[in-house]
Chains A and B, each alone.
Chain A
Amino acid sequence: MGRNLLQFDVTDLNVTVAEGVKFKWQGKEIDSGPLTIKLGAPGSAGVIDYDNGTVDVEYRSRISSPALEEIYDILEDMGEERGETAPFDVVIRSKGSIFGDDHSLRLAGKGEIADHRLFNPAETSLEILAPTH
């Protein structure tokens, strides 16, 4: 008998980091404004294993903020290749547990940063912690 699996597509991801961050660029401190994380490239999907109570999911996401968009525009005006000024793409691979009482999910994951002129994958990281409850 086959395992009790449910394969699914992630059809929406709508996340905001309202507080934003303050970062430095060319000696100036810049407020990013609210960061948004939304679906980027197609193919976000995962699987729920009801037998083991586990979830695996991959979010192909795109992170943006008003300040980052301005920097991309400046870089583009300076003649950078368009591919180097594209939005910041991250594949977030999350794993976790499913709880039967309310079908809540407890997911944690790490991001794999796509090549980018500003967001050097060797120096950039994104981690999503599991919820505390």
Chain B
Amino acid sequence: MSSRSGAEVRDALFNGRPVSWGFNPKEKRVILTFPNVLGGETYVLCIAGYYTFVARPLERTFVPSVFSSDLLRRGACAIKQVFSRSTA
């Protein structure tokens, strides 16, 4: 729904800010079948609008927002390497 980069969107989520994603209103993405009492027809329809996610507070403290997943992975690898060396 915005032109923000993936890192910016992820940072917003981890900091507890709401993030919304929109639907392309020209794309037929819904298949809806009505029951027989209402004719029993199946419709393929376009949808417009958006949905919004907000991270749960506990999750927001799980990974500090200043770290990207790559940094965390690299950090974990570095710690593992140091640990391996010290115990070898």
Contacts and interface: CB of A to CB of B under 8 A. Distances in A.
A129 B34 contact: no
Contacts of B29: 128-131
Given A13-B51, A104-B21, A126 B59 contact: no
A126 B31 contact: yes
Interface string B40-77: 11010111111111111011001100000100100010
Interface residues of A, number: 52
B47 A17 contact: yes
Contacts of B88: none
Contacts of A19: 45-46
B56 A125 contact: no
Interface residues of B, number: 50
Contacts of B13: 6, 8, 48
B34 A21 contact: yes
B49 A21 contact: no
A9 B54 contact: yes
Contacts of A11: 18, 52-54
B50 A23 contact: no
A102 B5 contact: yes
Interface of B: 3-6, 9-10, 13-14, 18-21, 23-25, 27-41, 43, 45-56, 58-59, 62-63, 69, 72, 76
Given A1-B76, A132-B27, 15 more contacts: A6-B55, A8-B53, A8-B55, A17-B30, A17-B46, A21-B41, A21-B43, A25-B39, A48-B13, A105-B21, A119-B34, A126-B31, A126-B32, A127-B31, A128-B47
